[in-house]
Amino acid sequence: MSASLERSVIAQQITTPDSAVVRTPSPASAMLFLYARTFSNRLKSQLTRIRSPRYVAAVIMGVLYIWWALFRNSRFGGGPLAMLARTDELVPVFAAFLLLSAARWWIFGAERSTLAFAPAEVQFLFPAPVSRRALIHAKLLRTQIAILLNTVIWSVLLRGDGGSLEGWRRGFSLWIVFSVLALHRLGASIVRANAIEHENAGRRRSVVPLLVFAGLVGAVVYGLLSQYEALKVAAEAGMRAVGNAILVALNQPIPSYALWPVRALLEPVFARSGALWITAAPIAFVILLLHYLWVVRLDASFEEAALEATQHRAERLQRFRTSQMGKSRSRGGKLARVPKLALTGRPEVAIAWKNVAAAMRGGAWRTQLIAFTLGLASLAIVTRSASARAGDVFLGVTMGWGAMLLFLGPLWMRFDLRLDLQRLPILKTMPLSGLQVVTAEIAGVTILHTLTVWSLMIVPLVMIILDPSLLTDSGLTIPILFSVALAVPVFNALMFAIQNGTALLFPAWVRLGAEARGFETMGQNLLTTGATTLVATVALVFPVGIGALTIWLSDVLDSPLGVWSVLLGTVLGCLILALEIWPLLIWLGTVFEKTDLSDVTSGN
């Protein structure tokens, strides 16, 4: 395909009768050529790595893992997550979840705009006779690579459902959902950018979408609040009752109308029959179409507002669009403050500090942490004040969220070697050993993520403050809290060591850079998390075993430690885990020292 494209591009240049006449530019074919060649050359470059034994081993392990994760259960309807698609009762809950997730894009901006242009694209395409709309279309097409892959993964995971819906129908429905989410994220980030960039004019243009979205979220929140008493009663009866109460709340007229567009988008995925799918799919497709038109129109207006079409302007836009959730400077020009680095002391601390600064200025980590902690504290007060049972339920939800953070956090927080390997020449000239560099890189993110997870402790703390008797009557609760607090940094160190080790061992295959991706790569992220969890599980067998043995022995021998034997077991388990991580760091240090520039640059 690429060869024919190449011919068509050349043909346009040579079939002009008079060479002096300006040739008709063909941006679409040129862009298609660019992306097709980039994709195929990148793939070729990555495949050539298989000559290295390290990469061969990775391919074998990867194939086995993907088979195990996706196809181990060949029974029809037996996809690992197929049960999720067996009931359409959960549609309102999923719809509310998606709507509230989208709120994050509107409040903080998207992590990474799909309209972010690479420096080479800015240099070649912006001054070229290519309309901005053509550029947008090319970018949207490019996003489709990730979306299609994600669709395939989720189609396999959700396959089956008793034969009620053919695979292609569910796949098509999922593709619509992921495409709409990607477009919505993009649209939200442009509207937000517009409001910030063009101040009053931008705000005027952004006010309608912002009001619409705020109205939808408000309706859902209203629905939940209006059923507060029912939710309070349900909390006494357990999680299932709470779930049912939430469903009732969301099915009330106002939240139901507000959620209708999201529900309509999700209906085809959960359709119980081909006939139902036929009626639901066109509506979802219309929603996709509307999103597409919205984004294209938004960006046109965004660009029209720009008076300068110079390279400088393009670069400024580029920087603006690639900025992460937070901006380094506030609108007043104030720079996000970071802890001061002492000029003397251990040099590796400088690397960890640099990464902390990047997280604070590039990822708005502190702002999010404060908002997150305050939100949790408020919810803890509300639920505990409602009833002890509601408080327990919220504590359970917090613990679940904490467990998820432990596994997913290292995938999101990438201010470590995954960011710095792109600057390998700088790292290589530093007067530090490989071990020092690797340890410092992992330490920075481990500290940040540990603080993030520890912030969840605000929930039990608030509950103890509200009811001090919990301290005396808690039984195992307090020793467990201490144990969790102790285990979190060691576990985080393990998870970040695995993530950084993967980047260091396979720099040509691992995506480098700080940006986490959006919904369109949810399936890929799920597989990556699964693989990381498997490796972590192997590493945890011995430490957890020793910890459990200690607790058991303490119980059997009737140790005077009593419930505090949990803490002793955790201490021993953490020590064993630290002893496992240390040789891993030493080894990764030697890998770093042997890593050549060409190992990194060709893959990224």
Please give the residue ranges that form the binding site for another protein (CB under 8 A): 319, 328-329, 335, 338, 341-345, 347, 349-351, 353-354, 357-358, 360-362, 423-426, 428-433, 593-594, 596-598
Give the integer Cα–Cα distance in Å for 153 and 159.
10
Helical ranges in 387-476 per DSSP H: 388-412, 417-420, 424-429, 434-454, 458-466, 469-473
Q: Which is nearer to another protein, 2 or 422 (CB)?
A: 422
CB of 275 to another protein, least distance (A): 54
- Closest listed residue to residue 401, CA positions, set 359, 445, 452, 363: 452
CB of 316 to another protein, least distance (A): 9
Q: Which residue has the tokens 């067998």?
A: 541
CB of 331 to another protein, least distance (A): 15
Q: Which residues of 382-400 are buried (b: 16+ CB within 10 A; e: fewer)?
A: ebbebeebbbbbbbeebee
* Token digits of residue 445: 């993110």
CB of 190 to another protein, least distance (A): 20
Q: Which residues of 271-289 are buried (b: 16+ CB within 10 A; e: fewer)?
A: beeeebbeebbebbbebbe
Residue 155's CB is within 10 A of a number of other CB atoms, namely 21
Q: Which is nearer to another protein, 360 or 584 (CB)?
A: 360
Give the integer Cα–Cα distance in Å for 529 and 412.
11
- Closest listed residue to residue 510, CA positions, set 9, 38, 54, 26: 54
CB of 573 to another protein, least distance (A): 34
Q: Which residues of 519-534 are buried (b: 16+ CB within 10 A; e: fewer)?
A: bbbebebbbbbbbbee
Give the integer Cα–Cα distance in Å for 207 and 191.
9
Q: What is the 3-state secondary structure (H, E, C) of 457-519?
A: HHHHHHHHHHCCHHHHHCCCHHHHHHHHHHHHHHHHHHHHHHHHHHHHHCCCCCCCCCCCCCH
Q: Which is nearer to another protein, 343 or 556 (CB)?
A: 343
> Which of the 8 DSSP states describes residue 423?
G
Q: Which is nearer to another protein, 429 or 472 (CB)?
A: 429
CB of 111 to another protein, least distance (A): 15
Q: Let me know: does 269 contact 174? Beta carbons within 8 Å.
A: yes
Q: Which is nearer to another protein, 244 or 422 (CB)?
A: 422
CB of 206 to another protein, least distance (A): 24
Q: Which is nearer to another protein, 205 or 361 (CB)?
A: 361
Q: Which is nearer to another protein, 203 or 428 (CB)?
A: 428
Q: Which is nearer to another protein, 215 or 425 (CB)?
A: 425
Q: Which is nearer to another protein, 74 or 344 (CB)?
A: 344
CB of 360 to another protein, least distance (A): 8
CB of 425 to another protein, least distance (A): 5
The 3-state DSSP class for residue 326 equals: coil
CB of 489 to another protein, least distance (A): 23
Give the integer Cα–Cα distance in Å for 566 and 486.
11
Residue 22's CB is within 10 A of a number of other CB atoms, namely 8
CB of 357 to another protein, least distance (A): 5
Q: Which residues contact 403 (CB under 8 A, 6 or more apart)?
A: none
Q: Which residue has the tokens 């760091």?
A: 585
- The angle that helices 91-108 and 253-270 make with each other, rounded to 10 degrees, is 100
Q: Which is nearer to another protein, 276 or 349 (CB)?
A: 349
Q: Which is nearer to another protein, 436 or 483 (CB)?
A: 436
